Structure 1
Amino acid sequence: MNWKMTAAIAGLTVSFAGETFAEQWNVSLWGKRRAFTEHVEKLAELVSEKTDGEFTLNISYGGLSNNRENLDGISIGAFEMAQFCAGYHADKNRAITVLELPFLGVETLEQEREISQAVYEHPAVVEEMAQWNATLLMPSPLPQYNLVGVGDAPQTLSDFEGLSVRATGGIGAAMETVGAVPTSMSATEVRQAMDSGVVKAVSFAPHAHMSFGTVENATYWTTNLNPGTVNCPVVVNTDAFEGLSDAHREALIGSVDEALDYYLDYYANNTMEAWGPLLEEKGITQVTFSDEELAAFEEAAAAPAAQAWIEENSAAGLPAQELYDLVTGMVSGES
């Protein structure tokens, strides 16, 4: 049986003699349950409740696919839902990488959510995802990234010269402007790379620093570098999605906003509340850079990265300027 037939069968609610058979979707995540996945966990709970257990989401942490291959798995129907990060394979999802440009000025998770959802609905994004038989369902809003590192804590941005840093996408491009050497690797590889000295610092949001153990041997944390964030959507196989019954599709779509509300509340009241005390407990030095240095960093990184992104993706056939203007317009409140 080929994957299209399998997906079609998985996406149907079959009735026979008045009986409705249960439907199950497989969901590919990675790592372990953490703040980053709480909206998916909540979505599964809500969908099951709304369908009286007839539609269930079976969540797997690493058992279905490598995190860098989740979009490929969605494309071939290996599973029906997955999470991925745009920076893991920017060439496959160019349009949404606009959300990973440095120094966009997004200040809250609520704003990140709103802007991401607007970008996901843009026709160019929908069309690009269609190439992978994929439909974007919801974002995973993340705060601005900062660095946890080992060794001497940087006192100025010039101290990053030659430093090997795990940083993907626009964050990596930004770190290059201050002389750092960015390396792209998946989150599950980071702790080993840090322990072995392959990288000396890691760019993550707080939840990931906790989940993937980078704080265990860390000596410092940058409190306000804030070069940007990553964009990690939850995506569904389009064939499976379209094959859902009306009731099950409504249960899924109708649960997205509630799942995201829960996620934002969880991140604020669990992750961020725990982060400061954890840094204190482990004796990690908190490094805060001056306004002057941060302004110089932004000036060096923001405009060049945006212009390069627009030129490269316009050449690839995307309405890059339009996507960039959509994001920056929403940040500034002009759209």
Structure 2
Amino acid sequence: MNKMLSGAALAALSLAFVSEAAATEWNVSVWGKRRAFTEHIEKLAELVSEKTDGEFTMNISYGGLSKNRENLDGISIGAFEMAQFCAGYHPDKNRAITVLELPFLGVSNLDEEVAVSRAVYDHPAVQEEMAQWNARMLMTSPMPQYNLVGTGEPRQELGDFEGMRVRATGGLGEAFEAVGAVPTSVTATEAYNAMESGVVDTVAFAQHAHLSFGTINKADWWTANLNPGTVNCPVVVNTDAYEALSPEEKEALDSSVEEAIDHYLANYAELLKKWDTILEEKSVQKVEYSPETIEAFKAKAADPARESWIKDMEAQGIPGQELYDLVQETLEKHRAGN
């Protein structure tokens, strides 16, 4: 009887060991804290675990695996299997997708942001560039148009931007520079300290980031309708890790992306509904610019930035004009479809 029990126990132990060995666990590198910007990643992990009965799980680390400017590097060496990064943090590493950060691109809502991001991510030039980092595009992190929070007297006119120190990365930084501001590309996690210490007067973020990183708590005013552009922040996976997945695990991952994005959009919509109330509670003045002021901003920032970007990309062997045209064509098709 003891021998039979020992054999049964051994078999159970062996089965448990095999099951544990067969489980897949991915590490995911993001930063800050859980917020609207990471809700699709949280939802993706939840869905993948559900679809695989807990055999494929994701450990999401908020800053414990890598600095936010180094996530793409970490993916390239397989330090973790999935990561989020923003193109403006290192435009030289992800040149092709920076088309999505050009100022006044014409994207007017998050659905359109998803559509143009997907189109650009699918372009061969983007996939080839990401392959150099052993990275595979998985999904975007759609964000609304950025706007400023600032300290002191509101910047009411375009001329008021002269000398303004602004936290803005990538194409947004170039846009503000075109109207006389002084951009700095401190990371999101550094923005509050930069504002508190007076390194910057203003910070350009989407609404969720102003909340998550506390810049709204230092603000005297908020630009409600400047809408100069946004940043593009993909979620990528390590190519080797993806290819090592079983067919069932790949299906669980790939089939969950759409639902994860839908969850993100619904969650963000709820945040936007509360935004005006948040401004009132924190006594933040809302600044609205005239159509003439916005058109003047666009004239100084949009066309020169676009032409300069296209020329620079083409000189590096990247089809800049083609990528820019793809964005515009995608917007037209998306609007026609709606």
Please indicate, yes or no, whether the TM-score normalized by the shorter chain is above 0.5.
yes
Deviation sequence 1:259-298 (CA, Å, 0-9, x none): 00000000001x1122111100111110000011111111
Query: What SS does structure 1 have at the residue aligned with 2:126?
Result: helix
1:19: how far off?
8.1
Moved more, 293-302 or 206-215: 293-302
Query: What SS does structure 1 have at the residue aligned with 2:314?
Result: helix
**Does the 8 Å contact 2:104/2:229 carry over to 1?**
yes
* Structure-2 separation of matches of 1:253 and 1:119: 18
**Does the 8 Å contact 2:119/2:330 carry over to 1?**
no
Deviation sequence 1:129-151 (CA, Å, 0-9, x none): 00000001000000000000111
Residue equivalent to 2:243: 242
**Does the 8 Å contact 1:139/1:234 carry over to 2?**
yes
Deviation sequence 1:80-99 (CA, Å, 0-9, x none): 00000000000000000000
Q: Where does structure 1 lack aligned partners over 5 or more consecutive residues?
A: 1-14
> Bigger radius of gyration, 1 or 2?
2
**Does the 8 Å contact 1:175/1:181 carry over to 2?**
yes
* Structure-2 separation of matches of 1:230 and 1:266: 19
Residue equivalent to 2:12: none
**Does the 8 Å contact 2:27/2:80 carry over to 1?**
yes
TM-score normalised by L of structure 1: 0.93
1:157: how far off?
1.3
What does 1:80-119 align with in structure 2 at a 5 Å threshold?
A: 80-119=81-120
Residue equivalent to 1:281: 281
Please report the RMSD computed on the Cα atoms of aligned residues, expressed in angstroms.
1.5
Residue 178 of structure 1 pairs with residue 165 of structure 2: no
Residue 303 of structure 1 pairs with residue 309 of structure 2: no
* Structure-2 separation of matches of 1:288 and 1:187: 24
* Structure-1 separation of matches of 2:17 and 2:198: 60
* Structure-1 separation of matches of 2:179 and 2:280: 28
1:320/1:54 Cα in 2 relative to 1: closer, same or farther (>3 Å)?
A: same
**Does the 8 Å contact 1:137/1:233 carry over to 2?**
yes
TM-score normalised by L of structure 2: 0.92
* Structure-2 separation of matches of 1:119 and 1:213: 32
Higher helix share: 2
Residue equivalent to 1:143: 144
Q: Which amino acid aligns with 1:210?
A: L
- Aligned residue pairs: how many? 320
* Structure-2 separation of matches of 1:172 and 1:333: 29
- How much identity, in percent, do the aligned residues show? 66
Residue equivalent to 1:6: none
Residue equivalent to 1:330: 330
Residue equivalent to 1:214: 215
1:169: how far off?
0.9
* Structure-1 separation of matches of 2:331 and 2:138: 22
Deviation sequence 1:57-87 (CA, Å, 0-9, x none): 1000000000000000000000000000000
**Does the 8 Å contact 1:104/1:331 carry over to 2?**
no
What does 1:64-83 align with in structure 2 at a 5 Å threshold?
A: 64-83=65-84
* Structure-1 separation of matches of 2:20 and 2:201: 59
